[in-house]
């Protein structure tokens, strides 16, 4: 066979009224002077990108539907350009195997919108998946697009979408319930075991140029809120949910362990909710300096030789002999969990935000005797409208958290920068025509 190249074309086809499948047809393009080659292969893919298995002749039916729509080869090449060359995506194939590749642009379903992505922050969980291939029971088993701190512009809307239109600027909540289970009915949809969550296996994320998302989980941004602020609503939502879980209110004394992005947004939200005194600790003097600039009343520098009890004593001294009502643990480190428990006043609360090892040694006797409540935090729920209002009213300012920006084409460099712990928040810019905040 004399082949001058290969062209691919894509269709988004409904099947059975429930699922939409992507059909990929591959055709050999003839070398000059050779007869036209025919269709080489047709494959059906679910929207997740994984090939379907043969079942009851379905692939054959889809192949027939696809090949019946085949256009002349010149149009196939145009289709390839639209599908392949305009949706650069950051895809994790396996542990330590991060790639930039071009993926097809899909049509939105009735309740979906196609988004032209603008700003996407790199989260510690993105780096963790890249370095380890898993977080707890969330295990990477197939290639996955990373990124879940995102904002963009509505490019196209599905037939059932009424509240959004092309051109709307939106912030994107990455967690979308798949079913109306008991957690959704009580308003805690973040706990639904079947929830779709961007960039958590097996669900693709938003580090790409175009992305489909449920329209009900895309929120309009006021003109006064930038795309980068819109992307930062995701970590800000973690803090809002954390402070709600911890019961932060007017006059609270709060101890935050860890001054990374999550620790710093918790600092901002604690202050906005009326906390009277906020202490924060970290290994990094630069991050503690940043925390002081952002409103921390006290900062505590620790080193790797500091014990949990020593750290709790420093907290007590900083507060003039009193103890915090609430401790917010943002590192996942065993020593910090222990220090948070030792530092919290009797009858107080420690909120567990950081994800570390599956098991940790903690002073359970002290927890019991002093009635310290340990409360978990898993992502967030019902936070985007509140966060947008806080940003629009200038109640908090998150803009200074962004310390590094990279175009999407330099994603690998951006991930290395995040891995090295340089700066605070690294932001990837997905729209080559608009690299502004």
- CA separation for the pair 240, 237 (Å, rounded): 5
Q: What is the pLDDT of residue 267?
A: 98
- Closest by CA position to 388, among listed 232, 213, 266, 217: 232
pLDDT given at position 290? 97
> How many Cβ atoms sit within 10 Å of the Cβ of residue 33?
7
Query: In the prediction, which pLDDT does 25 show?
Result: 43
- Decide if 385 contacts 225 (C-beta within 8 A): no
Q: What is the pLDDT of residue 272?
A: 97
Q: What is the pLDDT of residue 250?
A: 98
The reported pLDDT for the residue numbered 79 is 35
- pLDDT tens for residues 98-122? 999 999 999 999 999 999 999 999 9
Spatial distance between the Cα atoms of 241 and 260, rounded to a whole number of angstroms: 17
pLDDT for 76 equals 29
Strand 210-214 relative to strand 112-121: parallel, antiparallel, unpaired?
Answer: antiparallel
320: left (phi over 0), alpha (psi -120 to 50) or beta: left
**pLDDT value at position 437?**
87
The predicted structure's pLDDT at residue 422: 87
pLDDT score for 43: 41
The low-confidence residues of the chain, meaning pLDDT below 50, are 1-85
Q: Judge whether 104 and 84 are in contact, CB under 8 Å.
A: yes
Q: Which of 36, 49, 418, 93 is nearest to 261 (CA)?
A: 418
pLDDT computed for residue 82 by the predictor? 43
Q: What is the DSSP letter of 424?
A: S
**pLDDT value for 171:** 98
Looking at residue 56, its pLDDT comes to 34
Nearest to 280 by CA among 306, 312, 254, 310: 254
Helix, strand, coil percentages for the chain (3-state, nearest 5):
30, 30, 40
**What pLDDT score does 45 carry?**
40
């Amino acid at each position: 066979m004399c082949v001058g190249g290969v062209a691919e074309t894509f269709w988004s086809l409904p099947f059975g009224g429930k699922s939409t499948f992507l059909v990929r047809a591959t055709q050999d393009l003839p070398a000059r002077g050779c007869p036209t080659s025919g269709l080489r292969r047709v494959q059906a893919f679910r929207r997740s990108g994984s090939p379907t298995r043969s079942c009851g002749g379905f692939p054959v039916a889809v192949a027939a539907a696809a090949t019946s729509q085949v256009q002349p080869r010149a149009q196939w090449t145009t289709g390839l350009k639209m599908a392949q060359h305009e949706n650069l995506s950051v895809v994790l194939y396996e542990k330590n195997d991060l790639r930039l590749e071009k993926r097809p642009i899909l049509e939105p379903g009735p309740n979906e919108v196609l988004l032209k992505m603008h700003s996407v922050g790199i989260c510690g969980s993105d780096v963790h998946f890249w370095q380890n291939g898993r977080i707890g029971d969330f295990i990477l088993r197939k290639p996955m697009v990373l990124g879940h701190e995102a904002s963009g512009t509505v490019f196209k809307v599905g037939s059932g979408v009424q509240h959004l239109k092309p051109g709307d600027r939106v912030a994107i909540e990455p967690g979308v319930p798949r079913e109306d289970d008991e957690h959704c009915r009580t308003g805690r949809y973040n706990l639904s075991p079947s929830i779709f969550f961007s960039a958590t296996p097996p669900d693709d994320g938003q580090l790409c140029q175009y992305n489909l998302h449920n329209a009900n989980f895309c929120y309009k941004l006021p003109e006064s809120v930038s795309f980068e602020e819109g992307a930062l609503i995701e970590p800000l939502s973690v803090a809002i949910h954390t402070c709600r879980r911890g019961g932060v209110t007017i006059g609270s004394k709060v101890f935050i362990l860890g001054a990374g992005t999550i620790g710093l947004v918790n600092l901002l939200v604690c202050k906005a909710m009326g906390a009277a005194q906020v202490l924060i600790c970290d290994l990094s003097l630069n991050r503690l300096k940043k925390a002081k600039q952002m409103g921390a009343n006290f900062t505590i520098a620790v080193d790797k030789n500091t014990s949990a009890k020593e750290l709790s004593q420093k907290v007590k001294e900083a507060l003039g002999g009193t103890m915090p009502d609430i401790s917010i643990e943002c590192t996942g480190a065993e020593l910090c969990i222990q220090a948070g428990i030792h530092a919290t006043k009797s009858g107080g609360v420690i909120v567990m935000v950081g994800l570390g090892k599956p098991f940790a040694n903690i002073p359970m006797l002290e927890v019991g005797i002093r009635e310290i409540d340990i409360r978990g935090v898993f992502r967030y729920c019902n936070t985007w409208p509140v966060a947008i209002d806080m940003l629009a009213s200038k109640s908090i300012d998150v803009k200074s958290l962004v310390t590094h920006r990279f175009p999407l084409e330099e994603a690998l460099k951006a991930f290395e920068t995040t891995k090295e712990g340089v700066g605070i928040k690294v932001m990837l810019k997905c729209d080559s025509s608009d690299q502004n905040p």
